[in-house]
Amino acid sequence: MPIEMLKLFECGYCTHPEKIVNPKGSLKKMKFPATVALLRHPTKGYILFDTGYSMKFLEATKSFPYSIYAKLTPVFFSEAQSIKNQLRNEGIHSSEIRYIILSHFHGDHTAGLKDFPSAKILTFKKAYGHIRQFNKVKALTKGCLVDLLPEDMNKRMDFIDELPEISLSSQFQPFHKGFDVFGDGSLFAIDLTGHAIGQLGIFVSLKSGKNVLLCADAVWTSQAYEELLFPHKVTNLLIEDGTAYKKNINMLHQLSKNSSEIDILPTHCQKTWNLVKEGYIYE
């Protein structure tokens, strides 16, 4: 049962020196958009992949300890850019979002969660279990602002990685194993641990026959997997598992060579942002 539509939105951006993601690059500031995907399933309705920034993020980072995040990672965001408001402009009320697939628990992915109080949250138990063991300050060092998480989070979560693991189609190789999110072949979740423990990506199967991989922060730019370009070693401070991170880059590179017809969309990549600016819709 294929997905009927996929559309991307930009919900603010942060800046870092280009050299962080490309050791051969300069120290000039580079923009990294927080993109969010809206999907429409024929029976499950509207689904979000992550939530981007929100005003709750800006409010939380005004005071210590979250102000450390704002100083290290300058964020540029206006209320009009919240995914809740952008969806409203599309004629979609927040209550119509049935599911949020959360790739991982970093603040630029979770900040909009409280804007969708009726949505079921789908994520990996591996990711949530890793974050919940830490106190507020320790979680911050992992990129997670726990105050942004809904108080009823535990009641609203289902863990994708508790589903039976299945073998994926050869078109998705070298990704051999994954989870059929709804049991209908529309979305396949894969473990992309590296940047964060338990980070997930999803293969989206569209009614046109097109397949898209929303790979979250497995890479920050498409250039990384296209050219096998590994980030500056300072990013080891931002990466939970460096070995797995490099493995993901290699696997995405292989996927791009094996199945060039699959669009690989990293959350923070300029190429993904260009699709937002074009208003491109996958159907």
Instruction: Report which of 181, 180, 201 is spatially closest to residue 244, judged by C-alpha positions.
Output: 201
pLDDT of res. 77: 95
pLDDT tens per residue, the chain (283 residues)? 999 999 999 999 999 888 777 777 777 888 999 999 999 999 999 999 999 999 999 999 998 889 988 888 899 999 999 999 999 999 999 999 999 999 999 999 999 999 999 999 999 999 999 999 999 889 888 889 999 999 999 999 999 999 999 999 999 999 999 999 999 999 999 999 999 999 999 999 999 999 999 999 999 999 999 999 887 777 666 788 999 999 999 999 999 999 999 999 999 999 999 999 999 999 9
Report the DSSP pairing between strands 120-123 and 75-76: unpaired
Instruction: Report which of 215, 232, 264 is spatially closest to residue 16, judged by C-alpha positions.
Output: 232
Instruction: Report which of 47, 112, 45, 122 is spatially closest to residue 84, judged by C-alpha positions.
Output: 112
- For residue 173, give its domain range: 5-282
Q: Phi and psi dihedrals of 69, rounded to 5? A: -60, -45
| Residue environment code for 221-235, b if the CB has 16+ CB neighbours within 10 A, otherwise e | bbbbbbeebbbeeeb
Cβ atoms within 10 A of the Cβ of 254, count? 14
Model confidence, pTM: 0.95
User: Residue 120 is part of a domain; what is its CATH number?
Assistant: 3.60.15.10
Tell me the two tokens of residue 241. 């598992």
pLDDT of res. 2: 97
Q: How many domains does the chain have?
A: 1
